[in-house]
A and B are shown apart, each in its own frame.
Chain A
C-alpha cells in the first residue's frame, strides 16, 4: 500500500508527510466544570473537563505536600464507525488514563496545592487516530481554563514511519498500517519531553528523525494552543467590561 504517493509525495488524504491535520481548540464547553475544552485534530475530536482543585473525596488518598491528580479516559460508544459498547476500565483506557495523568502531573505545579484533588475527564467523541495526543492537548486547554498553575503547557503529537518516510500526525488508516507510531508529549517552551511512547522496532537513526518530526508537531500545537488561550483571555477581559 502506498501511504505516500511516490509520484506526487502526497499522503492518502492530501497532506504532505510533514503536515498536520487541521487542528481546532475551543475553551469552555462544559458549563459545570471548572475548566473544559474541546480539541480536534482532523476527524479526531476529544472533550476534556477538569474539576478542581477541590477537597480530596477519599481521605485515604490525600497527599500532604501536593495535589492528587486523577484522570479518566473514555471513548464514546459512537466514536468509531461501528457502534460498540465499550466497557469502562479496559486495559487500553486504563493505560491511556495513566499516560495522560503522568504527563499532566509533570506540568501541574502540584506542590502549590497540597491536600487537594484535581480530576481530569477526557472523552473521545470521534476517533480517527492520534486520540492519545488529542486527549493531552484537550486536557492542557481545560487545565488552563480551570486556572490550575502549570509550569508550561504540555502538548502532544504523534509521528510514524511508513513507505520509508517519517509522517507527522497519523490518521486512522496510517495508524493501522502496522508501522511504528511515536507519540511525544512535551513542555514546548522549556523544550522538555515528558512523554515518549513507541511500541515497535525502529533503527536508532530513523527513530531520531521521526521523534524530531513529532517534536516539531508538538511545538506547532503549542503555538496554536497559546493563541487559543490568548484569544480566550481577551474575550474574558471584554466580558468584564474593563
Chain B
C-alpha cells in the first residue's frame, strides 16, 4: 500500500518548495511478542510469559531513560515514531535507547508503526505534529491490544495528562511513570524517576518548604528567537562553555565571532550553564572586565578549595593562568584585553550523568522517607545537584551517579535524580570505577562479537603466511625487545647488524596488529572506539582483547611473530642511507627490561653479540639524539612516579620517581626515527588522508607563567624558537642539582599536548611538531595499545601496495572524526592515569604522615603552591587560616614573594621548604591530603 507524504519546505535560498515523498505501508511488520501466533516470531524479543507490555511515549523515553535502563523495566515496545522524535530532540538519549533495543539481554522491541498498514495515521487538518504523534502512539497501543487479545495487557506509559485522558477514553490502560513504578513495589526504583515539569501530571507535591528560597536567583534565559537574532546582529556570541577545572566559578567561552576567549566570572554570570554547553554570551561593559581578585579560591556560597594533585604534565592539565597574581603594572593592561561576559541563553545542553557523593546531612524526620539531598560531583566543574531520595541512609557513604533534569531560575542548584550506586566512598575499587566513569573510559569486558573476531588459540605461524610474497622472513635476524619490567604487551623490537661496508642495518619491528584486526570488523570498531589502552596504577584496560594484547601480537621472546618492519641502512654517524618497509616474520631472541639492557651495556666484561648490538644501537642513538637536540627538540621533564604495589592487597607499598636510563632514551630514539620515516612515507602516498601528529608552537601567553617565574629569580629565557628555548633551558643551572629539572617541569606544563589530525584538514606548515622539532610526525610503534598506530599501519601497507586502503580513508570527514575521538580518548586516558596515581598517593599517605622537602612553584595571596619532587605531587600550603582574609602577609608581585609584615620571614618562588603531609578528614568520608609547613 502506498501513501504519499507531502510537505512544504523552505530552501536555503529562501524559496518555498513542495516536497513529496513516498511512504510505503506494509503488512509484514511483526509485533515482536514470542507468544503471538499470527506473526513471524524469529525476531521477537518480548517474552511469551509477559502479562503486561509497556508502550512508552516520547517524553518518557527522553526524561526517564535512567529508569528504562534499569533491568526491572522490561517488555517495552518502542514505537518508531517515538524513536524518531527522540532522535530529533536528544541524540545521546537516542543512542542509549538504541543500545537498549539491540541489547540481547533486554526485552525492548522496536515496532515500525509508521510503516505498518494498520497503525499509520495521517495528520488531520488543524492537528499539531505533537498531537498527531500522540494519536499515533495510541493507535499503535490499540492495535497491540487487539492483536494480542486478552492474554496480554498493553499499558501505555505517559506523563502527559491530555494523552492519558484520551487513552483511557479510548479504552486503553494508561498510567504515569510514577504510578507504574509504584505498582512494581520496588521503592529504590522511584529514585530513578525524574521529576515532571509543571505541565505534566503532578506526581507528588514537591513544593520547596522554604519560601524564602523561592526567589529569582538567576536571570531568565532569553528566548531562542532573540538569541538567534542577537547572534546575527553580533551582540551575542556563541561558543562552548569550558569551566576552569581548578576554579568552578570561572569559565571560558571560545567565541569565533570575537576570535578570543570570553571569561565568565561567577555562577550568576554563568547563569545555569554547565561545562560543555553551547551558550550565547553577552559581553559585559569594558570597565567590568577585571573583577576577580586572585587568591586560592574561596567563594562565599560554596566552600571549596584547591586539592593536592599530581603535577600537571602539560598546559592542558594545568590551572589556567588567569587567576595568578600578576605584576601590578601588567595587570591592568593584560586583563582588560580579556573580554568578560555573561551567559544570556543556552543553545544546547551537554547534560549527562555525573559521579560524586551526597553532601553529609542529618537524617530528616518523617516525610515518608523522602529526603532532599545535595549531590556534590567529584569533578569540581559541575555545581551541586539537588536530588530526591528514599534511601538516604544507604547513599550517604556511597559514590553515586546522578543525572540532571532541570534547572530553573528560582533554584540555586539544578535538580536531578539518582541513577545508580557505584560503591563505598574511599574504597579503592569504587574510586577506580569512579575515575573510569568520569573519564568516559569503557572498562567493560569485550563482547562476544568482538571476541569472535580473534584467531584460534593457540596461534601458530601458518605456511600460507610464510608463503605470502609480501611478507619477508626475518627469523634469522637477532631481534630483541627492551621494555619496562613486567611488560606483557610488547609492541616493538629492534635489531642491529653491522654490514661489511662499515654501515649498520638497523630494524625496528612493530607488532603486526592489522594482520589480526581487519577493518570494519566488530573488533576494529571496538578498538577504534576505545582508542587507546588505559594504564592505571593497579590495572590496565586494554584496547584489544587479552589474547591479542599479551600473546598473539606481543613480540615475546623465542616465538615466531608477525611484524611490520622499518629497516634502515645507517652510517656509523647515524646518517640514514636507505629506508625500507616490509611486513615480516621475526623471532625475538630476548625480551629485556630497561634495567637488564642497561646492565648489559654497562658491564664491560660482556662481549656477546647481543650486548654488542645493544652498544652499537646505543652509540647510534646518542648521535641521533644529539642531532635532534641540535635541531631544537626540547628535553622536557615530567615528574612521573612509580608505585610498588602489594600483590595481595593491591595497596601501594612504596612510591618514588620513575628513573630514566640511557636504555630508555635509546629505544625512544629509534621509535621516534621510525615514526618520522613512516610519516614521510604515508604522507607522500596519501597527502590528503594521512593520520599525523602535530604539536602546536606555544603562544607567548602560554609561556607567560614560566617567564614570570624566571624573571622573579633573575633567569633570562629566550622563547623565540624551540631551539632558543632548548638552549636557554640548558643554561638554566642553579645552585642545586634539581633546579634545572624544576625549570623544565615548569616549562613542560606551559605546552599544550600534541594532537592527531588528518593531513587533508591542515596546510603542510601546520604539520610541525614543536616539541620534537620535526616537520612531520606520526604514531606507528605501538599498535597494540593505540588505535592511531593501527590506522597508520593500514596506511603504510596501502602505500606499499600490499593491502587495499579501507574505504573510510576516502571520507575525509570520517577520518577527522576518528582523529578527534583519538585525541579525546588519549586525553581521557591520561587524565585517568593521573587520577589513579592521585588516588594511590592518597591511599599511601593515609597510613604514613610524612615530612619532606618541597619547592614553591606559585605564590598566592594567602599561601603558596608547593611541588614535592619526591612524590610528583603539588598542592597548596596556607599561611593563614581559611576565611581570614588579608592578614599580615603581603605579596611582593615583582619578586614573587610573600612576606610577613614586621618580620623578615618571607617565602619566594622556587624556594625550598620543609612540609608535613598528612591525610585528614575534615568531613566524614572525604579524606584529603593536607600540606602544612613544619
* Interface, chain A (partner B; CB < 8 A): 5-8, 10, 12-15, 21-22, 42-43, 81-82, 128, 164, 171, 173, 201-203, 206
Contacts and interface: CB of A to CB of B under 8 A. Distances in A.
A13 B18 contact: no
A42 B22 contact: yes
B17 A81 contact: yes
A12 to B, nearest CB: 8
Contact of A203 (B20, B22, B24, B804): B804
A173 B9 CA distance: 14
Given A12-B21, A43-B4, A173-B21, 13 more contacts: A8-B80, A13-B21, A13-B24, A14-B23, A14-B112, A22-B24, A43-B21, A81-B18, A81-B19, A81-B20, A128-B22, A164-B520, A201-B810
Residue from B4, B22, B114 whose CB has the most chain A CB atoms within 10 Å: B22
Given A8-B110, A203-B804, A13 B22 contact: yes
B320 interface: no
Contact of A10 (B15, B17, B115, B520): B115
Contacts, number: 53
B810 A22 contact: no
Interface residues of B, number: 27
Interface of B: 2, 4, 11, 15, 17-26, 80, 83, 98, 101-102, 110, 112, 114-115, 520, 804, 807, 810
* Residues of B contacting A: mostly: mixed
17 contacts: A7-B101, A7-B102, A10-B115, A13-B23, A13-B24, A14-B24, A14-B26, A14-B114, A14-B115, A21-B22, A22-B2, A81-B17, A81-B20, A82-B11, A82-B17, A164-B520, A173-B21
A6 B98 CA distance: 9
A21 B18 CA distance: 21
A233 B931 CA distance: 99
A173 B23 CA distance: 13
B415 to A, nearest CB: 32
B112 A10 contact: yes
B909 to A, nearest CB: 56
Nearest to B13: A82
Contacts of A10: 112, 115
A12 B19 CA distance: 14
A15 B24 CA distance: 7
Contacts of B19: 81
Contact of B110 (A7, A42, A128): A7
B807 A203 contact: yes
Contacts of B98: 6-7
Contacts of B11: 82
A12 B4 CA distance: 13
A15 B21 CA distance: 13
A21 to B, nearest CB: 7
Nearest to A6: B98
A109 B20 CA distance: 40
Contacts of A128: 20, 22
Contact of A171 (B22, B26, B807): B22
Contacts of B15: 82
Q: List 5 A-B pairs, minimum CB-CB distance, nearest first.
A: A14-B24, A14-B115, A81-B17, A7-B110, A8-B112
Contacts of B21: 12-13, 43, 171, 173
A128 B21 CA distance: 9
B20 A43 contact: yes
A175 to B, nearest CB: 13
A108 B69 CA distance: 63
Contacts of B83: 7
Nearest to B111: A8
Nearest to A19: B24
A14 B18 CA distance: 21
Contacts of A43: 4, 20-22
Contacts of A15: 24
Nearest to A44: B22
Contacts of B17: 81-82
A122 to B, nearest CB: 22
A12 B84 CA distance: 11
A164 B112 CA distance: 21
B805 to A, nearest CB: 9
A11 to B, nearest CB: 9
A7 B106 CA distance: 14
A201 B11 CA distance: 30
Contacts of B810: 201
Contacts of A12: 21
A153 B22 CA distance: 28
A206 B519 CA distance: 14
A217 B96 CA distance: 37
A14 B15 CA distance: 28
A12 B24 CA distance: 9
Contact of B80 (A5, A13, A164): A5
A179 to B, nearest CB: 10
Contacts of B110: 7-8
Contacts of B807: 202-203, 206
A139 to B, nearest CB: 23
B6 to A, nearest CB: 10
A22 B2 CA distance: 8
